[in-house]
Chain A
Amino acid sequence: MLRDMMSTFELQQPATVTDALKSLKKAGKDGWVMAGGNDSLTWFKDRVKQPKTVIDISGINELKGIREVANGIEIGSLTTLTEIVNNKAIKAKFSLLSDSAAKVASPQIRNTGTLGGNVSQDTRCWYYRGGLPCYRAGGNTCYADTPTAMNREHTLFNASRCVAVSPSDIAPALVALDAKMVIQNSSGKKTVDAEKFFVGPAVDILNMTILKSDEILTAIQIPNTWANSTFYFEKVADREVWDFPLVNIAAAMKVSGGVIKDMRIAIGGVECVPKRLQVVEDLAKGEKKGIDVAKLAAKASVRGAKPLNFNHFKIPLMENLVTRAIRDS
């Protein structure tokens, strides 16, 4: 296959969510929603995904902007990552979110990349991206889970035929902040917990989220539950710019008198979904925040990890990041 040249498609540029949903419904499975275009255009240029209709939602103003609402903050799905990084309210109350957005890709990509696009982007498994007919592409094998496969970037947990991981830096922060995802289709709106928005291959091997082909993620709400908590975000990647995380971690803690009263923590790059580490939360709650509980939590966090040939480094890396989240926050 000759790549690096998009195939033709019909481009639609609706101005309202209502129009976009109509277009999506009409296009059916051949439709594709494009926001910032950073993930979409790569797929198209590689001719791995060749949708017949592309619905470019980037001109829909009602999907843009950051609003302070009664119980928190609501962020339109088309809000750029740069806007999130620079937003005063987010920085003041939910710096976990702005810190995670600041680590996405590069400044240029953050200027065009959207919040909705970041959390809805597809996995970066290079076999899948390379156009191989793997499970996730509708085929009947996994190329990354073989005795000789190059799988440094792949899963530690809950593989189910597919061993790809969630690539988002923001997704773990949203899970840690207990964010709510607002999804709209032509019959109406629904709100879903971030934790339930992302799905693994055992649930749906073709998709990383619960979004259906006739739905649009319109906004993300951050409830005040974790506002002004003690936060920790860290991303470990090969380079300081551009790269997806090898592993990233996002934690929110309520600490009082040196004791962890409450905690939510999620880790990316080790499972198909941003993995909420409830064992760490259970272990740490009520404990004195410090190196002792950090070490214990780190050990607990990796229980059940099933490394592949080239990614067992993620086990010590994950332990180290859990340690740092508790020790250094």
Chain B
Amino acid sequence: MAYKLIGKDFIPPDVLAKVTGKANYAEDIRADGMVFCRMLGSPMPHARVKNIDISAAKKVKGFLAVLTADKVPSFPPPNNPILNNEPRFIGEPILAVAAETEQAAVEAANLIKLDLEPLPFVIDPLESLFPRGPDARTNGNVANVRLKLQNIKWTAKDFAEAGEDQLPMGKPAEEWQFGDLDGNFKKADLIVDETFVTAGYSHHSMEPRSAMAYWRNGKCHVYGSAQSQSFIIFGLSRYIGIKPTQLVYNGAFCGGGFGSKGGPYAEMSIPAHMSKLLGGRPVLMRVSRAEEFAIGKGRPGFQGRVKIGFRKDGRVLAADMFIVHDNGPNTGFWDFRNAGSSFSIVFQPEAMRWRGISVLTNTPVRGPQRGPGENQTAAAIEPIIAKAARKLGLDQVAIRMINAPDNNAKYGAKQGPVTSAYLKDALAKGADLFKWDEKKKESGKKNGSKVIGIGVGSAYHSAGAAGFDGLVRIMPDGKLHVHSGCGNLGTYSYAATARAAAEALGGSWENMVIERGDSSKGLPFVLGQFGSNSTYTQTRTNWAAGMDAKAKLQEIAAKDLGGSPDDYDTTDGKVFNKADPSKSMSWAQAAKRAIELGGKYSGKEMPKDINPITKWATASIAGTGLVGVTKDKLPKKGVTPGLVTAFVKVEVDTETGKVKILEHVEVADCGTAVHPQSLATQIKGGAVMGYGMALSERYVFDPKLGMSFNGSLHNSRPPTILDVPSEMMVTHVGKPDTSNPVGAKGVGEPVQGAATAAILVAISDALGGHMFNRTPVVPDMIINAAAGRPQSYKTLAVNTQ
């Protein structure tokens, strides 16, 4: 379909501020009378606070107040607390201190005497599952979202039977199965059974989650760093202890989140509580890099095992997967569940069982990170698929092609349908662009100590949701205002998706304004900006709101110019009679008429089925123009998958352990590309993050101290620009998803997992099929493997070097 705006490059309005440094992030906000606060975190991985002595701190010049856990709302365990008298990881905030200057706040905080009783702690999930092993919490060692806090111990027999090199598989917390698992394993020509470890690691968003807050006229104003706008309103108000209508949230810019700032989070409420304690004075809480490491969430690590049965042509007949999930100390996120569902869609097994357990550890709070569970799965499983291909004598692309999902694919435990899946097309296009058939001749080619390896890998994430709200307004000056509630993570999808409203109306980019970044601007309720959903979800809501405005334009034109609404169509700035274009009125005229007509035309009346936030937003702008507002009721049957495949060529130096990525091709199945430039950036950025997952990023803790090695950006080792090939070829399949009005679906997450998987497969290829079954693969592992020496770590060790 030919579009006016969709699929065209454009410059999002906030780009200039970002590249010139004029963008004000939460930490840049200043207000009259503003004071500073800082959190004081636990020095122990698990402790009970017995006493807090602030007498010395009070003597610091400029000291104002101390906020403790008893002064803030508490939430049932294992939710993330705001402040905690039983801290469960090093750096967990126990209290916050406010002072006239940040310097004074820090001086005062360091004079506070904490009397802490050390409690047992654990950083390895298997240690906690071992009989009588330590628990991360005094009241349990297993929990997750929708998995109650409980205590599960496996038997010594479970461990003894598995031995040191295979994952013991005791009682899972959850499981599902479909198909004839045993029967299909019996039919299999090849069965592989592999134990693997994927490292957890910090999000380390470039912008730490600093926040500023003040109270005015009964409302609490918060400036924060979040991926999402309207989605966090309910949760943040709960953290502050107010009604959602009392919260004004300003989040115009966000310096990255990767999932860690997708939903509301506890710490953002601290300056609001502190401000209340200080009579509403503005309070800025700066979050340091080290604090961001502690509280800024991290990807859960996996200790996993998978048995896969293949037919001799490579088809996956049966898969049996077990995931032990390192969940940090609190609710965490359900990566372990996504491991099962993502395997089910990427490899379409005829029968599968998934079992998992989410174990608590005294390590930083975990949350969803780009492809939560799906990307660990791609990293762990793709090298195993590669091993099977080698054993079966199959081509690496062929074994993936035979299993890849298409439009008839099935998803997850319930084997439900998909709205579209073109992974086969992505594999074919990628193989063609990468020149796979030529490149595979280079596999294992040596140049001195350097060996060439080639790899391919795919990944999945769900790519959109339905049922949220859209809100647009045509102003009396004729401009289309698209109200965006999605947030500004940094992908610019708020802008690309807003254009869907203009597309529906036949409008132009020049004649539209995007309202965003401040809840007082009247922003509708949509899903947060996470889960690769924005592109799909908000093209639907904005398209629907645009169509609602269009219907209202047509009705107003019919009322004033005669005929029926169907006789009219809209183009940029105009509604006109299709048969007689001389009969027309401008959007400006129609907006004025909408205000006169009132009711649904000006937003005075609104649909009953929209979210309360959208109702408040609509009420706040009602009577100012022609208002289009609706819930997205467009049909959607099944899960919408974002699928990506990557091809890489690496050079592995067996003497130094260094891996150089020489070539990278990545192809996304993302439907229509709504903003091609942004798509290319999204794929490349995700791929680079995937390099980190494959080659350098991991949590390292001293197991005796519970202390981390990586509390800095430097020691977390995200890839640098010199670790990236100078050219990366990225593209997309280009087949639209028919469940979306513009054919689009999201792709932000699997772009990382595919890159990680392809690199790991390529390293294994270069080393003649050597299996590390572990991420990341760092130089010392390659040096040891090439020298035929044992590795430093035990097979199942986690959070280790």
Contacts and interface: CB of A to CB of B under 8 A. Distances in A.
Do the two shown chains form a genuine complex with each other? yes
A313 B792 contact: yes
Contact of B288 (A4, A241, A243, A309): A4
Interface string B269-300: 00000000000000000001111000000000
A106 B720 contact: yes
A3 interface: yes
B386 interface: no
Interface string B708-752: 010000110101111100000000000000000000000000000
B60 to A, nearest CB: 12
A240 B720 contact: yes
A241 B289 contact: no
Given A4-B288, A150-B709, A239 B696 contact: yes
A4 B290 contact: yes
B780 A246 contact: yes
Interface string A313-329: 11011001101100000
Contact of A317 (B109, B657, B793): B657
Interface string A190-228: 000000000000000000000000000000000000000
A143 interface: yes
Given A241-B723, A246-B779, A317 B290 contact: no
B789 A2 contact: no
Contacts of B778: 238
A5 B656 contact: no
B720 A5 contact: no
A236 interface: yes
Contact of A3 (B290, B655, B720): B290
A138 B700 CA distance: 25
Contacts of B289: 4
B792 A5 contact: no
A313 B720 CA distance: 24
B40 A2 contact: yes
A239 B800 contact: no
Interface in B737-774: none
A48 to B, nearest CB: 12
Interface in A128-169: 130, 143, 146, 148-152
A311 to B, nearest CB: 8
Interface in B81-111: 102-103, 106-107, 109-110
Nearest to B786: A316
Main SS class of interface, A: loop
A1 B43 contact: yes
B784 interface: yes
A323 B103 contact: no
Contacts of A241: 720-723
Given A309-B792, A320-B655, A2 B717 contact: no
Interface string B649-670: 0000001111000000000000
Contact of B655 (A8, A243, A324): A324
A101 to B, nearest CB: 16
Contacts of B291: 4
A2 B38 contact: yes
A236 B658 CA distance: 8
Contacts of B779: 236, 238, 246, 313, 317
B721 to A, nearest CB: 7
A268 B705 CA distance: 28
Nearest to A314: B780
Given A4-B291, A148-B702, A317-B783, A243 B717 contact: yes
Nearest to A247: B656
Contacts of B801: 150-152, 310
Nearest to B102: A5
A317 B778 CA distance: 13
Contacts of B38: 2, 5
B657 A236 contact: yes
Contact of A5 (B288, B696, B722): B288
B794 to A, nearest CB: 11
Contacts of A2: 38-41, 106, 109-110
Nearest to B292: A4
A312 interface: yes
Contact of B723 (A239, A312, A313): A239
Contacts of A238: 696, 717, 778-779
B787 interface: yes
B637 interface: no
B717 A126 contact: no
Contact of B722 (A1, A46, A240): A240
A127, A149, A239, A321 — most chain B CB neighbours (10 Å): A239
Contacts of B594: none
Contacts of A8: 103
A317 B779 CA distance: 10
6 contacts: A8-B103, A238-B779, A243-B717, A313-B789, A317-B657, A324-B449
Given A150-B800, A236-B657, A324-B655, 14 more contacts: A2-B38, A46-B290, A106-B720, A150-B701, A239-B717, A239-B723, A242-B714, A246-B779, A309-B792, A312-B784, A312-B789, A316-B787, A320-B656, A321-B655
